Structure 1
Amino acid sequence: MEFGLECSSPFVPAHYQPACLLDLAVNRGVDSHRLLRGTGLFHDDILQGNRAISPAEFFQLIANLRQTLGTDDSSFLLGQHWLPGHFGPASHAIRHADNLHIALQRLEALSCVLSPLQKPRLRVDEHYAYVYWLDSYGSGGQRVFLLEALSAALTSMCRWLSGQRLPWQYQFRHAQPRYIEQYWVHLGEDVRFGCPLDQMRIPREYLSQPWSSASVTAGQVAEREAHAWLQQLPASAGFLDQLYDYLQENLRQPLGLERVAEVFQVSPATFKRKLHKHATGFQEQLDQARTSVAVYLYLSQGYSNDEVANYLHFNDSANFRRAFKRWTGMLPSELKTFLLL
């Protein structure tokens, strides 16, 4: 397995999401040179439409925006312009999705274009559809900002394309911020904090409701064009996304840094450096994959403590409960009560 795109890989078109940040700042009276400081970008680079920046440069741009604006609503306002967006065929593909299910499938498949910094993952069970967000390049202090923007983006897009306000529920890992009213205004009041995962949830029946504004043929053509664009990239996914996929698919096997490094065809030392470069470590990534699977097994499959512990290869359920508490801040017995209220 080869490494995917990294935080230093310049693949994000500067005239896509970065331009939205620039427009928001300029419209609020911020000088463009001040916003672009430290990113290696100039306004003319964006206007020419042929410059790409790396995730690390994108993070710097977000940090500059937050510092210059200093407002609590900038992430939510920015998100309202991100989806479907004006990002070439990928935007057209979700703009002309037949329904929510197809839109979410395309959003996940085309995330390198539509959500380049946080990977959306779609999961559907008997009762709900879930979209959970995973950090693709080590966003660090910009993670909450990005989650707010992306949650607002998906909420706004669904409201526009469906013609109604869909009953999304929101769960975030971070603590409740002091500006909670911005969440209520832009997302609604069904918001929870201190959760095991960063995710949005909606009753499954909304997936198949038709969206009358869609042009099915146009959406299918745009989807093929978008995938053709993705094939021009050096890799189809980020390094952390590839690592997550491998860990999740192999959780029932013994996993250690040395073994996974071998799968990625590098030495353990090089693998550690790659993880450090992305502001994370192997144990953190392994715990994240375990958390995701454990929550799914509990809530969607109805597994018991013993069954989840056995699935994740823990010696006994007591050890697993302690580990789950360390991963999520809560015991498995508290999970359903907390998330399903």
Structure 2
Amino acid sequence: MPYTVWFRYVKVVLHAAAKANLETQTLLGAVGLDSSILEATDARIPHEKVYALWREITRLSGDEAIGLRLVQLVEPEVLDVVGYAAYSSSNVGEALSRFIRYSRLIHEGAKWTLETKGNVTQITHSVPGSHLPLPGVLCQWVLATIIVNVRRMTGLNLVPLQVGFQHQQPDDISYYRELFQAPVAFEQAVNSFTFDAAWLNQPLLKSDPGLCALLDRYAEELLAKLPRTENIVDSVRQEISVGLRGGDPGLDAIAKKLKFAPRTLQRKLKEAGTSHQELLDEMRRELSIHYLQERQMAVYEVAFLLGFSETSAFHRAFKRWTGTTPGEFRRTLSESAYINVKI
């Protein structure tokens, strides 16, 4: 089952985008979401749609650092159960622990860690089961959300020791330095920042043990309603992703890596409601759409990256997946961009 994102938190992003003069209806329409979803309380949407939304926010704003800026436009009042639970905790350590525990409500596939060694604590974020690269603007939003809200919760201008991002370094990193006030690194294995472990004991301005206990119960109830993640499916997705980056995404190779006989792996995937070929096709389809949006990448390069021996085979597969050819898909994107600009 593909990862999903709680739309309540997408609405927080849209709320901030609207304050930055980006039209909500335009953003939703550009990524194929109906505006009626704004009224859905507990809707969940595929994380690929959220990635596309962030790319559209970047395109429309023309701002490479828009993720960092939008976080600062979010008022704490629009946060939901996860945010309120964090704000009502006793100290920073409890707030971060609650955020990590309940983060699956926001994004099922997100992996967070919080680890202290000596006097230094590190918090990390990644989506290991996703074959799509995280948009840089999403990486910005994730880490800026932590530091901005820690500062708001404590009323202190706490400064991390180091910040690391998975995405490539943009041409201008001045706003990163201005916000974090710390050394910034790019193209890291995970999104992360390290800070003085003394932060963990810093009390919060709006600590409320009674409210916190109530929110904990509510958040646990919501977590219990989420479908359990199929670990075998995630593992196969991850190995296919690695295989498509220069390895072998075939069934036999992946079965060997996961220490299963190919027939056993096929059976386990069937029990999970999918197959190796379905997962491979799903990844190739989504990656092809992602790569074709990169104008500088030729179609034959996309075909090669997806493991097709011939461009013609990629053309046939893409038409089977989408009903259109790669060239037609790109022309449609160009026309859509032109219409949005004219509007």
- TM interval, shorter chain, is 0.5 to 0.7
Q: Aligned to 1:199, which of 179, 189, 192?
A: 192
Question: Is 1:12–1:54's contact at 8 Å kept on the other side of the alignment?
Answer: yes
> 1:102 and 1:278 mapped to 2: Cα distance?
37
Residue 95 of structure 2 is matched in structure 1 by: 103
Amino acid in the other structure paired with 1:96: S
- SS class of match (2:86): helix
> 2:205 and 2:22 mapped to 1: Cα distance?
39
Amino acid in the other structure paired with 2:217: R
> 2:218 and 2:26 mapped to 1: Cα distance?
36
In the TM superposition, residue 75 of structure 1 has moved relative to its aligned partner by 0.6
In the TM superposition, residue 44 of structure 1 has moved relative to its aligned partner by 3.1
Residue 322 of structure 2 is matched in structure 1 by: none
Equivalent pairs counted in the alignment come to 263
Cα RMSD after superposing both structures:
3.5
Residue 328 of structure 1 is matched in structure 2 by: none
Alignment of 1:1-341 (within 5 A): 6-7=2-3, 11-14=4-7, 16-80=8-72, 86-114=78-106, 118-135=110-127, 138=130, 140-168=132-160, 169-235=162-228, 240=234, 256-259=257-260, 265-266=268-269, 270-271=275-276, 273-274=278-279, 277=282
Return the index of the structure with the highest Cα Rg.
2
Residues 1:213 and 1:63: Cα distance change in structure 2 (over 3 Å): same
Question: Is 2:6–2:42's contact at 8 Å kept on the other side of the alignment?
Answer: yes
Between the two proteins, what is the percent identity of the paired residues?
Answer: 17
Q: Deviations over 1:182-207 (max 9, x none)?
A: 10122223222344443111121221
Residues 1:193 and 1:225: Cα distance change in structure 2 (over 3 Å): same
Greater relative CO, 1 or 2 (CA 8 Å, sep 6+): 1
> 1:199 and 1:275 mapped to 2: Cα distance?
30
Question: Is 2:166–2:190's contact at 8 Å kept on the other side of the alignment?
Answer: yes
- More helix, by proportion: 2
Question: Is 1:135–1:240's contact at 8 Å kept on the other side of the alignment?
Answer: no
> 1:182 and 1:241 mapped to 2: Cα distance?
37
Residues 1:242 and 1:147: Cα distance change in structure 2 (over 3 Å): farther
Residues 1:237 and 1:82: Cα distance change in structure 2 (over 3 Å): farther
In the TM superposition, residue 77 of structure 1 has moved relative to its aligned partner by 2.2
Q: Deviations over 1:299-334 (max 9, x none)?
A: xxxxxxxxxxxxxxxxxxxxxxxxxxxxxxxxxxxx
- SS class of match (2:125): strand
In the TM superposition, residue 87 of structure 1 has moved relative to its aligned partner by 4.7
Question: Is 1:55–1:137's contact at 8 Å kept on the other side of the alignment?
Answer: no
In the TM superposition, residue 209 of structure 1 has moved relative to its aligned partner by 2.3
In the TM superposition, residue 114 of structure 1 has moved relative to its aligned partner by 4.1
Name stretches of at least 5 consecutive residues in structure 2 with no aligned partner.
Answer: 239-255, 285-343
> 1:164 and 1:241 mapped to 2: Cα distance?
41
In the TM superposition, residue 58 of structure 1 has moved relative to its aligned partner by 1.5
Question: Is 1:137–1:278's contact at 8 Å kept on the other side of the alignment?
Answer: no
Q: Deviations over 1:8-33 (max 9, x none)?
A: xxx5333x222233233333443333
Residue 252 of structure 1 is matched in structure 2 by: none
In the TM superposition, residue 105 of structure 1 has moved relative to its aligned partner by 1.1
Q: Deviations over 1:109-166 (max 9, x none)?
A: 1112345564322122222211111115527354322111111100001001111122
Moved more, 181-190 or 139-148: 139-148
- SS class of match (1:265): helix
> 2:115 and 2:49 mapped to 1: Cα distance?
31
Name stretches of at least 5 consecutive residues in structure 1 with no aligned partner.
Answer: 245-254, 280-341
Question: Is 2:90–2:209's contact at 8 Å kept on the other side of the alignment?
Answer: yes
